[in-house]
Structure 1
Amino acid sequence: MTSALLVIFLIILPILTAVFLYFYDRMQKQHAILRNYPILGRVRYIFEKTGPELRQYLFDDDNDGKPFNREEYLRMVLPGKYLNSIIGFGSKRDFQESGYYIRNAMFTKQNEEMRVDNADLVNTKRYIMDEDNLFSRREHLEDVPTLPWLLPEEDAVVIGPDCEHPFRVRGLLGQSAMSYGALGDHAITALSKGIGLTPGSWMNTGEGGLSPYHLEGGADLIAQIGSGLFGYRTEEGEFSVERLLEKAALPQVKAFELKLAQGAKMRGGHVEGEKVTPEIAAIRNVVPYTTINSPNRFHQFDDYPSLFDFIDEIRGHAGKPVGIKIVVGGKEDAEELASYMQQTGKGPDFISLDGAEGGSGATYQDLADSVGLPLHSSLVLLDDALRKYGVRERVKIISSGKITTPDKAAIALAIGADLVQSARSFMISVGCIMAHRCHTNDCPAGVATTDKKLQEGLVIDEKKYRVANYILTMREGLFRMASAAGLDSPTKFERHHVIYKDERGRVFPVE
């Protein structure tokens, strides 16, 4: 009897639920589709809600999808997990489309001919696959001493050589700006420890200020100062020299960067109030649980003379290199910057150049889609302008904007960059699944969230090795690309090593 009642209940309950929803939706006045088609409307909204996940995992081709398709995503995940970037059978690139290519040499370089320092191995871990079937998957971590792929000391890229404390870089690849607050403490700590395992690279603190988690792993740091002056402000919001000196005294802090703009947002940053915990508020010197909107620009300057004076002030107090992060809007902007550097003999020690394709945890669609120039175009304009006005040797260019693989990094170096950096590839190496929830504090991977429960899923002592492995495979790949081009070092890439092929098969030099 009990079983029969249970069966009846299970049959009647869905019917009663459907009847209730039918009349409820017919009476509500907010959604026209639900009012006119109550049941079908519910089905429509279910498909609409689950559509992005269905497309990402089931329906999109490996080379479809934005901002990164599945093929690009795997090229960031797999090297970090398995310390391997070898593929089988062939490339999935559409060679009919237009794009950039590295010019291969008739006579390539042998491994022993490369200018590389592989003396001190990096102790990391990688996964070994034991079983990979449809319904079972087993793998284990294995210790593996790995080549560091560092530039020799004499080939190091030196930022601010005339500063009291120059920044010598031997890894060519670094982590672009990501703040504590935009990312949780587990993610920042894993990134810091992973980068710390691979000396020669660096991490940028982002405009949210220097946190204990950035310092945790011993990584070299570029301390970013945004228009909100978070971590470098008084309670009234003015610039604080005392707080600057506190950071400058730390040996890990190698340089400072003034953020004028970034690719996805030509304005100040945004952090929802629920992400501003008391700890984050203390680091930024703001009120806890209050939504933060940085000013669109610094109050301290509004033209090149006042910008360069502010750079000099910071450099004078800190004794360390000072750079600017910009997005180029046109040839005139690049030339105006270079011209003023020539006239005054002043200016930044480095320029972090972000392309319009750069990412952000939270921004506006219109800014992300249509403001600023993409990296390749702006990189050529900036490099040309600095050379035209004779100041290129004074300033290093660090380029960013979807530089996620060795070939993309090599192309950026050839077009005009001295160093390259990336943010989203580091997020992906630490666990990001591209859920597009960065701005909600509900990141399912525990990366872009300060929610303690969600962060429990991100195990620092596992993810740090993925970060280290991603860096190591990128470095090795850069040397591999250089040897294929007949060069003994990736620092020797120049524009003539890159060609551009259009959709009709015509090839052009990069000018």
Structure 2
Amino acid sequence: MMSFQFHRSAPSRFGPWATCLVGMLAGIVLVVLLSWWWLFLAVPATVLWVIGVIDYLQPHHSIRRIYPVIGRMRWLAEDLRPKIRQYFVESDTDGAPYTLDTRADVYDRAKGGEGIESFGTELDVYAQGYEWFLHSIYPKVPAEGQHRVRIGEASGAIPYDMALMNISAMSFGSLSGPAITALNEGARRGGFAHDTGEGAVSPYHRQGGDLVWEIGTAYFGCRTPDGKFDADQFVDECRQTDAIKMISIKLSQGAKPGLGGVLPGSKVTQEIADTRGVPVGETVVSPGHHSAFDGPDGLVEFVARLREISGNRPTGFKLCVGQRTEFLSAIRAMISADVYPDFIIVDGSEGGTGAAPLEFEDHAGVPLDDGLATVHSALVGAGIRGRIRIGASGKVGSGFDIARRLAQGADYTNSARTMMFALGCIQAQECHTNKCPSGVTSHNPMVTRGIDVEDKAQRVCTYQRSTVNNFNTILGVLGHTSACDVRPDQFMRRISQTESVRYDELWPVLPEGSLLDGSAPEAWMDDWKAAGGIAG
């Protein structure tokens, strides 16, 4: 297994650079005292020392800023990528969920590249799981700019026009201050939304980018000393922060559904403690369940309450789908109370996190394909799909990813990991240790100085714009000019070497209102009836 690990202590980070300085000085002295032959030491050492100075001062590459001279090993590896490509694709570092090619493509787009590859696809088009779209022989001129999805209009809330691709939930504490700052500034420049994650609205979120304030089970930013929901703090934050455009209640996270978040004590600095309202240096474990409400009726009431006291901001919830009957019970509660969330964010079980038990990362929750299809179909079957927007969160990193999620029923998408790549994340998978080598998830000032906020903010903005532009190109090739025209019958998945099926065959959508009139398939009707007992 090939991987590059960087030592984090200051001596080891600056050791090679310091060695070059010593070699340069020693070489000069020996040239003066002994022989010109010592130029063979002095000249290379001087060149390397100057390179170290350039690395330390330049703003564009975090690894080189943090690890002068030795950090260039990474760029050497990137230059060699075509020669060792297949090795990395087949055995990527520690089973990481994104291949080197995926990360390199994000880096390229974040820097303004076109993401164009020569010599054809590297994928096995006959392998199970391969996906493609059915182009039109009468393509349209690609649309330009962001597509907007209006959220909140159906409930009478202050509507918000959401971009097709946004920054998914990553909290301050999990990410460093400079990383959050760069994300929010990138969102401001690009005109897309930034989900705060459950760690509260921090000072670093206040760069002018639109915010979706996520309220988790620990109620950070609006909690009492004993960890309960504090309505007064919630109202004060909403009044003080105009950038908060929507409120999202986190029911569960795809990487660890049913469990609360964990922030190791080594990452709980004074600033993080003040932001979250927790003790300094102590590991923070969010509960697995909400204390402000219980059950589907309580969820619906809490949605209505937060929408009202937030100043009528669009309010919804995020979940990783589990038992279908429980989601259907929430729908029954909505219909019974005639109260509906403005949006539902579906988080797939393949989503990432800095800290979760391996069993949960690998085996808990419904993958985004199936979860998204379940939520979309259930809302259609209940006759309320037009009232509620659906966001999709889970490995959205390309224009094709956006298109396929829309085909599966989403109205917009959120991305976390690839936004981190745009910041310079190298997927060292040490988010929970406070030893992130790129400074994205570290709170060590010696490391976070590697993140040049101005440069990284522009990369985040450029990456999002490039990805949406790629989607626009796909949209035109599909024969459409509007994102809402994307259809599931235009996308295919191979299920064996000789068989492939359309999305609408893989995930058939219930007829409109069929759960209400009893015409839905038997399995759905059985779950719908069982959900009535849960919802009361």
* TM-score range relative to shorter protein: 0.7 to 0.9
Mapping of 1:16-165 within 5 angstroms?
A: 60-62=87-89, 64-65=91-92, 66-97=96-127, 98-111=129-142, 114=143, 116=144, 149-151=145-147, 156-165=149-158
**Correspondent of 2:470 among 462, 473, 477:** 477
> How far apart in 2 are the matches of 1:289 and 1:436?
22
Q: Which amino acid aligns with 1:278?
A: Q
Q: Secondary structure at the match of 2:89?
A: coil
Could you tell me how far apart the structure 2 residues matched to 1:492 and 1:247 are?
38
Instruction: State the alpha-carbon separation in 2 of the partners of residues 223 and 60 from structure 1.
Output: 41
Aligned residue for 1:309, secondary structure, equals: helix
1:325 & 1:208 partners in 2: Cα distance?
Answer: 15
**SS at 1:363 equivalent:** coil
- 1:228-281: CA deviation from partner (whole Å, max 9, x where unpaired): 011011223221122211222222100111111111111110001121111111
Question: Distance between the aligned counterparts of 1:485 and 1:59, measured in 2?
Answer: 31
Amino acid at match of 1:279: E
Q: Which residue of 2 aligns with 1:205?
A: 196
3-state SS, counterpart of residue 61 of structure 1: helix
Question: Superposition pairs for residues 389-468 of structure 1, below 5 Å?
Answer: 389-468=382-461
Aligned-residue identity in percent: 30
Q: CA deviation at 1:499?
A: 2.0
Provide closer, same or farther for how the CA distance between residues 337 and 499 of structure 1 changes in structure 2, counting only shifts above 3 A.
Answer: farther
Cα-to-partner distance string for 1:194-220 (whole Å, 9 max, x where unaligned)? 111111x1010000000111112x111
> SS state of the match for residue 197, structure 1?
helix
The alignment's TM-score, normalised by the length of structure 2, stands at: 0.75
> How far 1:491 sits from its partner (Å)?
2.6
Question: CA deviation digits over 1:315-367, x for unaligned, max 9?
Answer: 11011011111011243333333233223222321111010100111111111
Instruction: Report the 3-state secondary structure (helix = DSSP H, G, I; strand = E; otherwise coil) of the residue aligned with 2:298.
Output: helix
What's the offset of the Cα at 1:94?
Answer: 1.8
Q: CA RMSD in A?
A: 1.9
* Residue pair 2:408, 2:488 contacting (<8 A) in 1 also: yes
Residue 222 of structure 2 is aligned to residue 232 of structure 1? yes
Aligned match of 2:527: none
Q: Kindly provide the CA deviation profile for residues 2-50 of structure 1, in whole angstroms up to 9, marking residues without a partner as x.
A: xxxxxxxxxxxxxxxxxxxxxxxxxxxxxxxxxxxxxxxxxxxxxxxxx
- Structure 2 residue corresponding to 1:374, chosen from 363, 367, 383: 367
CA deviation profile, 1:154-202 (whole Å, cap 9, x unmatched): x643335434422122x21100000000000010011111111111x10
Aligned length: 417
Structure 1 residue identity aligned to 2:303: I
Inter-partner Cα distance in structure 2 for 1:300 and 1:448: 30
Q: Kindly tell me: are residues 271 and 160 of structure 1, through their superposed partners in 2, closer, same or farther at Cα, counting changes over 3 Å?
A: farther
CA distance in 2, matches of 1:419, 1:432: 24
Q: In structure 2, how many angstroms separate the alpha carbons of the residues matched to 1:161 and 1:85?
A: 39
Distance 1:349 1:468 in 2: 26
Matches of 2:442 and 2:469, distance apart in 1: 32
Other structure's SS at 1:468 match: helix
* Alignment partners' CA distance in 1, 2:124 and 2:233: 51
Aligned partner letter, 2:89: D
Counterpart CA distance in 1 for 2:227 and 2:359 is 29
Cα distance change, pair 431–329 in 1 and its aligned pair in 2 (3 A): same
Q: Aligned equivalents of 1:341 and 1:60: distance in 2?
A: 51
Output the CA distance in 2 between the equivalents of 1:407 and 1:179.
27
Look up the match of 1:141. none
2:252 aligns with 261
CA contact (8 A) 2:151 2:342 kept: no
In the alignment, which residue of structure 1 is the partner of 2:210? 220
Q: Residue 76 of structure 1: CA displacement?
A: 1.4
Local SS of the residue matching 2:170:
coil
Are the aligned partners of 1:103 and 1:497 in contact in 2 as well (CA < 8 Å)? yes
- Relative to its length, the structure with more helix (as a share) is 2
Q: Distance in 2 between matches of 1:189 and 1:328?
A: 31
Task: Tell whether the 8 Å contact from 1:160 to 1:320 is kept in structure 2 after alignment.
Answer: no
CA separation in 1, counterparts of 2:166 and 2:154? 19
Letter in 2 for 1:285: G
Q: Which amino acid aligns with 1:176?
A: S
**TM (normalized to structure 1)?**
0.78
- 2:338 maps to 345
Structure 2 counterpart of 1:181, from 173, 193, 211: 173
Q: Residue 496 in 1 paired to residue 489 in 2?
A: yes
How much does 1:456 deviate?
1.0
Stretches (4+) displaced over 4 A: 56-59
Query: Which deviates more, 184-193 or 345-354?
Result: 345-354
The 2-side partners of 1:508 and 1:408 are apart by 18
What does the per-residue CA deviation read over 1:118-175, in whole Å, with 9 as the maximum and x for residues that have no partner? xxxxxxxxxxxxxxxxxxxxxxxxxxxxxxx123xxx643335434422122x21100
1:388 equivalent in alignment to 2:367: no
Preserved CA contact (<8 Å) 1:83 1:469: no
- Greater share of residues in strand: 1
**Separation (CA, whole Å) in 1 of partners of 2:398 and 2:318:** 22
**Are residue 313 (structure 1) and residue 277 (structure 2) matched?**
no
Task: Indicate conservation of the 8 Å contact 1:380/1:416, yes or no.
Answer: yes
Question: What is the DSSP-based 3-state SS (H/G/I as helix, E as strand, rest coil) of the residue aligned with 1:87?
Answer: coil
- The equivalent residue for 1:138 is none
What one-letter code is carried by the residue in structure 2 that aligns with 1:265?
Answer: K
Whether the 8 Å CA contact 1:64–1:70 is kept in 2: the answer is: no
Residue number in structure 2 paired with 1:292: 284
Gaps in structure 1 of 5+ consecutive residues? 1-52, 117-148
